[in-house]
């Protein structure tokens, strides 16, 4: 391949994905994007694995959970090496371990961290999809991500093993009267979350409720964390069934899981789990719509919540619902008691209160994010509804913490 063509492909792929790209000819590095010194490149631990693979497109994952890919240009001596990619934010400890595993000198810590942290997050599935796309661009051969995984992993059916373990587990459970008794409790909790019944949940937590679950880990701490992850998944879906916004539910679930993973005490995980359940139920309760509201008005309110950071015009809402703007505006005011414009403004101010209380975003950033025409308009509207300036609201909230 001509060097100019390989450079064009490398630049195009790097600009699209942000993933490092190297081009080799006869095992000699020709160029790399981004441009870094070779002693900062962590690919050393992955290169032998990729080079040993006889397939023209392949991947590997290191002990650091970094993804690397290889694409050999068919019938040539040219090969592209992609990566690393990673799917979760890197901690200082993770970066240090990567440097140790890649034999990168400690003195290069800042330079290496600067390089590695600029790589955007990418899921393993999307990394494989990007690899397959790049392969098609170069070789014009189609390869699906699923096929790539299958060709790199010999077929293996776990069915027989699972059936054997299940048979033994069921035998021991019956022999020792060891049965799961969590189902009824789970159903009660899910009903409370779906209905936003925080009072009932508080009563349940105030009374000791024993429930025995099966082992899902080899030590007590990992067991508690795995159960927490399962609970967070179920609770988030119950909250969605109860009317909580899908994105809010999933993001909140992710945040609680991350909090649980950072804990090292069983009692702290139990308390966090109770807090999580109550939090979801309270949010469902706060987002419950009165039963007397028409479906069109509920749909309107959900649309506004989902587009709170965008400019929301009455005719856009009306088009979404499929009604005449004037007719719906009158209908909305009759049901809610305030005009549609005022309701939109109030919801934006509620979102601004959250950002003021729980983030360090500046007033300018908040105003721009919520699509107010100007910062001064945002401040005046905030004071109109809250009786206090945004800055003083933030200060008063910080005093309460």
Q: Within a 13 Å sphere around the CA of 358, how many CA atoms are in the beta-carbon half?
A: 6
Tokens of 267: 């009692």
Task: Please write the tens of the pLDDT for every residue from 38-58.
Answer: 888 898 888 888 888 788 899
* DSSP conformational letter for 74: T
> Residues 218, 331: one domain?
no
**Does residue 54 sit in the same domain as residue 129?**
yes
Both tokens assigned to 121: 């997050």
**Which tops the pLDDT comparison, 401 or 72?**
72
Domain end call among 112, 134, 152: 152
| Among candidate residues 226, 260, 286, the one where a domain is terminated | 286
In the prediction, which pLDDT does 292 show?
84
- 162 occurs within a structural domain: no
Same domain, 16 and 138: yes
Is the pLDDT at 368 greater than 70? The verdict is yes
Q: How many domains does the chain have?
A: 3
Average pLDDT estimate for 266-289:
85
Q: Which residue has the higher pLDDT, 167 or 264?
A: 264
Among candidate residues 148, 118, 120, 123, the one with its CA nearest the CA of residue 133: 148
* Percent of the chain at pLDDT exceeding 70: 87
Are 227 and 339 contained in the same domain?
no
Does the pLDDT at position 128 exceed 70? Answer: yes
Q: How high is the pLDDT of residue 257?
A: 92
The reply to whether 357 falls in a domain is: yes
Residue 276: give the domain boundaries.
183-286
- Look at residue 264 and tell me if it is in a domain: yes
289, 243 in Cβ contact below 8 A? yes
Q: How confident is the model at residue 352 (pLDDT cuts 50, 70, 90)?
A: very high
Same domain, 187 and 304: no
Residue 177 covered by a domain: no
187 part of a folded domain = yes
Which whole number is the average pLDDT over 341-366? 90
| Residue 87 belongs to domain with CATH number | 3.30.450
pLDDT of residue 344 exceeding 80, the answer is: yes
The confidence score (pLDDT) of residue 171 equals 58
Mean pLDDT computed over 20-38 = 91
- Select the more confidently predicted residue: 180 or 5: 5
Among 286, 313, 339, residue at a domain's last position: 286
pLDDT at 178 over 50: no
Confidence of residue 367 (pLDDT cuts 50, 70, 90): very high
Q: Judge if 20 and 135 occupy the same domain.
A: yes
Residue 198 lies in a domain: yes
φ, ψ dihedrals at 30, nearest 5°? -95, -50
Q: What angle do CA 61, 64, 69 make, to 5 degrees?
A: 30
Q: In this structure, are 358 and 279 located in the same domain?
A: no
Indicate whether 338 belongs to any domain. Answer: yes
Percent of the chain with pLDDT over 90: 38
Residue 218 sits in the same domain as residue 337 = no
> Do 138 and 231 share a domain, yes or no?
no
166 in a structural domain:
no
Mean pLDDT of the chain: 85
Looking at the structure, do residues 42 and 83 belong to the same domain, yes or no? yes
Q: Are residues 20 and 138 in the same domain?
A: yes
Query: 60 near 68, Cβ under 8 Å?
Result: yes
Position 301 pLDDT exceeds 90: no
Mean pLDDT value across residues 7-24: 93
**Residues 321 and 237 placed together within one structural domain of the fold:** no
pLDDT score at 179? 47
- For residue 289, what pLDDT is reported? 74
């Amino acid at each position: 391949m001509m060097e100019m063509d390989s450079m064009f492909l490398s630049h195009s792929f790097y600009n699209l994905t942000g993933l490092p790209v190297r081009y080799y000819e006869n095992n000699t590095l020709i160029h790399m994007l981004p441009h870094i010194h070779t002693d900062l490149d962590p690919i050393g631990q992955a290169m032998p694995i990729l080079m040993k693979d006889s397939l023209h497109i392949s991947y590997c994952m290191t002990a650091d959970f970094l993804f690397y890919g290889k694409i050999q240009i068919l019938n040539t001596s040219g090969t592209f090496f992609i990566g690393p990619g990673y799917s979760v934010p890197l901690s200082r400890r993770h970066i240090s371990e990567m440097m140790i595993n890649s034999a990168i000198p400690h003195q290069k810590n800042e330079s290496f961290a600067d390089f590695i942290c600029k790589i955007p997050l990418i899921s393993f599935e999307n990394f494989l999809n990007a690899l397959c796309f790049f392969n098609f661009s170069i070789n014009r051969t189609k390869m699906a991500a699923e096929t790539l995984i299958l060709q790199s992993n010999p077929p293996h059916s776990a069915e027989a093993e699972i059936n054997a373990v299940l048979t033994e587990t069921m035998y021991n459970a019956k022999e020792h009267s060891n049965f799961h008794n969590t189902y009824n409790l789970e159903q009660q909790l899910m009903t409370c979350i779906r209905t936003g019944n925080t009072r009932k949940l508080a009563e349940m937590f105030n009374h000791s409720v024993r429930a025995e679950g099966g082992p899902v880990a080899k030590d007590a701490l990992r067991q508690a964390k795995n159960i927490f992850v399962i609970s967070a998944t179920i609770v988030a879906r119950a909250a969605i069934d109860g009317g909580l916004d899908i994105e809010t539910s999933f993001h909140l679930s992710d945040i609680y899981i991350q909090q649980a993973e950072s804990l090292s005490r069983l009692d702290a995980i139990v308390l966090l789990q109770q807090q999580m359940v109550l939090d979801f139920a309270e949010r469902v309760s706060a987002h419950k719509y009165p039963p007397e509201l028409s479906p069109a008005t509920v749909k309107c309110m959900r649309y506004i919540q989902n587009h709170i950071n965008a400019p929301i015009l009455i005719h856009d809402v009306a088009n979404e619902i499929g009604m005449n703007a004037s007719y719906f505006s009158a209908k909305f005011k009759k049901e809610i008691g305030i005009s549609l414009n005022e309701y939109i403004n109030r919801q934006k101010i509620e979102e601004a209160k959250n950002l003021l209380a729980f983030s360090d975003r500046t007033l300018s950033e908040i105003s721009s994010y919520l699509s107010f025409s100007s910062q001064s308009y945002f401040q005046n509207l905030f004071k109109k509804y809250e009786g206090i300036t945004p800055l003083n609201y933030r200060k008063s909230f910080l005093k309460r913490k």
